[in-house]
């Protein structure tokens, strides 16, 4: 598994955020029973930059907590059978053979504010946002109520599995 983590945020964490991000990503990959070695890119940034990305990619002129940019176009969430098709080779890093799942962008400012708002640690909030985003990279969404319920259950189970319960 390759996890590229870059931080452009002015604010920093007082814990090993890289280890936490890798642990959550690994737990999500295992939870979804992904049969491939994977690659994910994570950017930690500030509200102004995530606001710019949100406007550019979603046409929403506001900062948000996390953005997900899936690289794989799952027709059915976490249906890895579709990757057996010859055309799916485009989803794999040709140098490493790893499945490139996509990019995650997290606002550190939102992590800090939301942790305080929800009364839990910054570790728990960062872990939650990464788990949430990983599910988006696997093709899950939360537009409909039943989709939201599925994502919430999966997020909870992933986080509980690594000791980041509420």
Across residues 125-150, what is the average pLDDT? Answer: 96
Is the pLDDT at 166 greater than 80, yes or no? Answer: no
What is residue 1's predicted lDDT score, i.e. its pLDDT? 96
Q: Is residue 34 part of a domain?
A: yes
Report pLDDT digits (tens) over 108-135.
Answer: 999 999 999 999 999 999 999 999 999 9
pLDDT digits (tens, 9 = 90+) for 59-109: 999 999 999 999 999 999 999 999 998 888 999 999 999 999 999 999 999
Taking residues 135-143, report their average pLDDT: 96
Domain assignment present for 33: yes
Average pLDDT over residues 137-154: 95
Tokens matching residue 84 = 């057996």
CATH number of the domain to which 6 belongs: 3.40.390.30
Q: Quick one: what percent of the chain has pLDDT higher than 90?
A: 95
Average pLDDT of the chain is 96
Q: Is residue 121 a part of any domain in this protein? A: yes
In a domain, 75, yes or no: yes
Does any domain span residue 166? no
8 within a domain of the structure (yes/no): yes
Got the DSSP string for the chain? -EEEEEE--SS--SS-HHHHHHHHHHHHHHHTT--S-EEEEEEEE-HHHHHHHHHHHH---S--SEEEEESS--SSTT-GGGGGSGGGGGGB-TTT--EEEEEEEEEHHHHHHHHHHHTS-HHHHHHHHHHHHHHHHTT---SSHHHHHHHHHHHHHHHHHTT---
Give the number of domains in the chain: 1
Tokens of 161: 């599995």
Q: What is the pLDDT of residue 156?
A: 96
C-alpha to C-alpha distance for 104 and 151, rounded to whole angstroms: 17
What range defines the domain where residue 61 resides?
2-161
pLDDT in tens, 32-63: 999 999 999 999 999 999 999 999 999 999 99
Output the CA–CA distances (angstroms, integers) from residue 135 to 11, 12, 36, 117, 152, in the order listed: 26, 25, 16, 23, 10
Q: Assess if residue 27 is contained within a domain.
A: yes
């Amino acid at each position: 598994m390759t996890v590229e983590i870059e931080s452009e945020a002015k604010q920093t964490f007082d814990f090993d955020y890289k280890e936490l991000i890798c642990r959550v990503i690994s737990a999500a990959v295992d939870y979804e029973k992904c049969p491939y070695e994977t690659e994910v890119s994570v950017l930690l940034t500030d509200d102004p930059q995530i606001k710019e990305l949100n406007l550019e990619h979603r046409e929403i002129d506001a900062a948000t907590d996390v953005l997900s940019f899936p690289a794989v176009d799952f027709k059915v969430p976490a249906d890895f059978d579709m990757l057996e098709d010859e055309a799916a080779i485009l989803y794999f890093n040709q140098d490493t053979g790893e499945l490139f799942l996509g990019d995650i962008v997290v606002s550190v400012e939102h992590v800090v504010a939301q942790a305080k708002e929800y009364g839990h640690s910054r570790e728990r909030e960062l872990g939650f946002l990464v788990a949430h985003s990983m599910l988006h990279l696997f093709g899950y969404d939360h537009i409909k109520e039943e989709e939201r319920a599925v994502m919430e259950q999966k997020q909870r189970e992933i986080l509980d599995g690594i000791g980041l319960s509420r």
